[in-house]
A and B are shown apart, each in its own frame.
Chain A
Amino acid sequence: DAGVIQSPRHEVTEMGQEVTLRCKPISGHNSLFWYRQTMMRGLELLIYFNNNVPIDDSGMPEDRFSAKMPNASFSTLKIQPSEPRDSAVYFCASSLQLNQPQHFGDGTRLSIL
């Protein structure tokens, strides 16, 4: 079974550039989550969607971050402009419904120079 697919797996770019992270949830899952993981702060929930609608974006650090889910099989997390402090591993997860266990992708390791 295909799990949650994230791309790219690694991204290295210079500060000020736009970064777009992509996620394909498991087919049939109605809920999608974006997380950020760092050594200092651990796992942080950035935003989550239910039936393609953003439900809670209170974890998004600032206006430089935005996320979209144009359809049930695709979501993006965009950072513009990027800063070195955005360096982290970004995970996407999906679940059948909001109260069901989440299935994680392997993450995107982002380095902003």
Chain B
Amino acid sequence: AQSVTQLDSHVSVSEGTPVLLRCNYSSSYSPSLFWYVQHPNKGLQLLLKYTSAATLVKGINGFEAEFKKSETSFHLTKPSAHMSDAAEYFCVVSAGNFNKFYFGSGTKLNVKP
């Protein structure tokens, strides 16, 4: 079975400080993992994806994530937060032949000036 746990429902950081959004997954197969971002009144936008290549994945807008199989984690990071990063972030796992995406419950990132 596949599942995703996002450990924080809300994260608040100051502009210019690092961002860490945590995600743990459970999968019976070698997983594909994704991070999506959702800005208010918008659909979800793909930030980055891991599909069994390099374990450190770089995405758009300066975000990156590291796949750690031993910890079953796929945390999202960014060295320096911008105000425009304020949004909700979703960690997603799919596995096997894929048939479904399993979404985490989301983490709302607040960026303070």
Contact = CB atoms under 8 A, between A and B. Distances in A.
Interface of A: 4, 33, 42-43, 45, 48, 55-56, 91, 93, 98-99, 101-107, 109
Contact of B98 (A4, A45, A99, A104): A99
29 contacts: A4-B43, A33-B101, A42-B103, A42-B105, A42-B106, A43-B90, A45-B101, A48-B100, A55-B99, A56-B99, A56-B100, A91-B44, A93-B43, A98-B97, A98-B98, A99-B97, A101-B34, A101-B49, A102-B44, A102-B46, A102-B101, A103-B46, A104-B44, A104-B45, A106-B42, A106-B43, A107-B42, A107-B43, A109-B41
Interface in B67-113: 90, 94, 97-101, 103, 105-106
Contacts, number: 44
B32 interface: yes
A98 B99 contact: yes
A99 B32 contact: yes
Interface string B21-53: 000000000001010100001111110010000
Nearest to B97: A99
A103 B44 CA distance: 7
B58 to A, nearest CB: 15
Most central of A4, A55, A98, A109 by chain B CB within 10 Å: A98
Contacts of A106: 41-43
A91 B103 CA distance: 14
Contacts of B44: 91, 93, 102, 104
